[in-house]
Amino acid sequence: MSVQVIKTQPIEGQKPGTSGLRKKTRVFMEPNYLENFVQSIFDAIGGAEGKSFVVGGDGRFFNVQAIQTILKMAAANGASRVIVGQDGLLSTPAASNLIRQNGTDGGLILSASHNPGGIDADFGLKYNISNGGPAPENVTAKMLARTQEITEYKICDAADVDLGTLGTYALEGMVVEVVDPVTDYQALMEKLFDFDKLRALFAGGFRMRFDAMHAVTGPYATAILETALGAPAGTVINGVPSEDFGKGHPDPNPVWAKTLMDEMMSESAPDFGAASDGDGDRNMIVGKGIYVTPSDSLAVLAANAHLAPGYAQGIAGVARSMPTSAASDRVADKLGIASFETPTGWKFFGNLLDAGKATICGEESAGTGSDHVREKDGLWAVLLWLNVLAVREMSVIDVMADHWQVYGRDYYSRHDYEALPSDVADDVMGDLRDQLSALPGQVHDDLVVSVADEFSYLDPVDGSESHGQGIRIQFEDGARVVFRLSGTGTEGATLRMYLQSYASGDQDLFRDTQEALSKVTAAALEISGLARTGRDAPDVVT
Ligand code: G16
């Protein structure tokens, strides 16, 4: 076969972040950039010889071109079989499912998630291992090491594969199967949720709006919500994936999904609203007149999961990332099950899910999921919410009011300072680190600091350690602020300030969030000296 061995040399900065390698699209398109990283992935896993992979992406600009390159490199490296989504499309959770279902050795997922797409926007590539989850740190460290010593890569000199037509093709000695991206994922959802009950819900006049944000979830949401469950046509909006996400920012939060938010806060709001991100792993949940924070959504889903057939036996444990609010811990306590606090990044849930220690996981960054795959799953969260609403016959706002009365409310907000010069962001974090031991006992804006530390994690399954995972400052009244640098940005540094304060069930549970957090916000700004960034307000508040 016509394998070409191309000489290359290391390219600076190919360090996988929170979720794979993310860079400007034009950087990915530079000579050898993609090829070096793909070869480094194959080398880091001990070669691709005889191995099978799933490949697909979120449909952003350069998706199909990059997939053709990956296929030719997989063939040249001796892979035996690659399963690809038709037109190169696979949502991240659907790719995770295909890896698990077909027992492949891993998968390459092309996405920069919620970051904008287009030739002048962002691109990304992540590797998932055979459990279907993101590569853990010991694997990404090997990838990085390979990128720094690479001297050559292998690629086949072959024609492009027809990704538009379902079927099985031969690429040199490798089998390429082009599959429908939705079919197997939908079958999995049908096992987990009561589709008859959901059909009856929509037949009874329940209305929802799902904003696919011109991204990959469109075909999945249309097939499941409209075709299978009978929701009226038009339930799914922005449902056709486009290369630049309709020039939008496919990040499902109140800022970027503003049109949906406005509709849900209006007189004519449907019963339920939801949105998903570029690659379909994040979600936003909103009821008529009420936005549900991702931290609260995790808690509500954990408390009610047993109402869906897939979780009728109950759940083993709940895991959340450290900056996520404590709301889900309260549910776990009451259910008498384990709760886990992990560093940011879905990869840290993998071991807990594999070991059966946690069933449901979630993050403040709009990710929720369960042990059905090894990624967060936007549409799964939407379907579980629908299943809960159908069984409880309650509105979202009533479910939330009931939940807060039982558990109390964790007011929660994240303030993002984006594209800061890296040295300024590092200074802020460095100074916070230096203050940690002096902070306990200090009073800031009437709040007394009780504990201040930098989060480290000891994985209870494999004993691996992760350090430097964000600075936590806890106050005596239960409020907390966390400072952390984003691992997914592609420009400068993004500093995230996560704010939380607790109100017990007998207090006013419908205060304005920013107002309820005003004291802890003031204390956080004072302690961190964020004013030195020259910014007088965060860029994004969610
Ligand atoms: C990725 C990870 C998430 C993580 C998020 C954090 O999300 O998959 O598990 O919570 O990054 O982002 P940051 O480091 O910017 O705070 P995604 O949806 O971008 O893949």
pLDDT in tens, 264-301: 999 999 999 999 999 999 999 999 999 999 999 999 99
- Mean pLDDT along residues 482-489: 91
Smallest CA separation from ligand 1 atom 17, residue = 113
Q: Name the least confident of 13-17, 170-174, 282-286, 406-410.
A: 13-17
Q: What is the pLDDT of residue 385?
A: 98
Smallest CA separation from ligand 1 atom 13, residue = 486
Q: Write out the residue range of the structural domain in which residue 453 sits.
A: 410-541
Active-site hit among 40, 91, 111, 113: 113
pLDDT in tens, 187-218: 999 999 999 999 999 999 999 999 999 999 99
- Mean pLDDT along residues 39-55: 98
Residue 203 falls in which region: left (phi positive, over 0), alpha (psi -120 to 50) or beta: alpha
Ligand 1 atom closest to the Cα of residue 126 is 20
CA distance 276 to 170: 35
Domain termination site, one of 351, 386, 407: 407
- Mean pLDDT along residues 224-231: 98
Ligand 1 atom closest to the Cα of residue 347 is 9
Q: What is the pLDDT of residue 17?
A: 85
Q: Which of 257, 255, 190, 256 is nearest to 229 (CA)?
A: 190
243 plus 384 within the same structural domain: yes
Q: What is the pLDDT of residue 505?
A: 87
- Mean pLDDT along residues 362-366: 96
Give 300 Cα–ligand 1 centroid separation in angstroms: 21
203 plus 162 within the same structural domain: no
- Mean pLDDT along residues 33-42: 98
CATH classification of the domain holding 94:
3.40.120.10
Contact by Cβ (8 Å): 326, 340: no
Q: Above pLDDT 90, what percent of the chain?
A: 95
The total of structural domains in the chain comes to 3
237 plus 385 within the same structural domain: yes
76 plus 29 within the same structural domain: yes
Q: Which of 316, 343, 317, 334 is nearest to 472 (CA)?
A: 343
In the structure, which protein residues have their CB atom closer than 6 angstroms to any atom of ligand 1? 18-19, 113-114, 281-282, 321, 344-346, 363, 365, 367, 486-488, 496
490 pLDDT higher than 80: no
Q: Above pLDDT 70, what percent of the chain?
A: 100
Catalytic-residue membership of 113: yes
pLDDT in tens, 397-437: 999 999 999 999 999 999 999 999 999 999 999 999 999 99
Q: What is the pLDDT of residue 1?
A: 59
Residue 88 falls in which region: left (phi positive, over 0), alpha (psi -120 to 50) or beta: left
CA distance 183 to 194: 17
Using most ligand atoms within 8 A of CB, pick from 19, 58, 245 the residue to mutate for ligand 1: 19
130 plus 190 within the same structural domain: no
Q: What is the pLDDT of residue 297?
A: 98
Give 488 Cα–ligand 1 centroid separation in angstroms: 6
- Mean pLDDT along residues 515-542: 94
What predicted TM-score, i.e. pTM, was given to this entire model? 0.95
211 plus 345 within the same structural domain: yes
Domain termination site, one of 407, 438, 456: 407
Chain-wide mean pLDDT for the chain? 96
351 plus 414 within the same structural domain: no
Q: How confident is the model at residue 32 (pLDDT cuts 50, 70, 90)?
A: very high
373 pLDDT higher than 90: yes
Domain termination site, one of 407, 437, 458: 407
128 plus 169 within the same structural domain: yes
Give 445 Cα–ligand 1 centroid separation in angstroms: 31
Q: Which of 14, 28, 23 is nearest to 143 (CA)?
A: 14
274 plus 341 within the same structural domain: yes
Using most ligand atoms within 8 A of CB, pick from 277, 344, 471 the residue to mutate for ligand 1: 344
Give 267 Cα–ligand 1 centroid separation in angstroms: 34
271 plus 162 within the same structural domain: no
Give 465 Cα–ligand 1 centroid separation in angstroms: 19
Q: What is the pLDDT of residue 375?
A: 97
- Mean pLDDT along residues 25-52: 98
Smallest CA separation from ligand 1 atom 3, residue = 345
| Structural element, H or E, at residue 360 | strand 360-363
Number of H helices, E strands in the chain: 17, 27
Q: What is the pLDDT of residue 487?
A: 85
191 plus 159 within the same structural domain: no
Q: How confident is the model at residue 18 (pLDDT cuts 50, 70, 90)?
A: confident
220 plus 369 within the same structural domain: yes
User: Residue 497, SS3?
Assistant: strand
CA distance 343 to 352: 13
61 pLDDT higher than 80: yes
CATH classification of the domain holding 494:
3.30.310.50
CA distance 338 to 315: 10
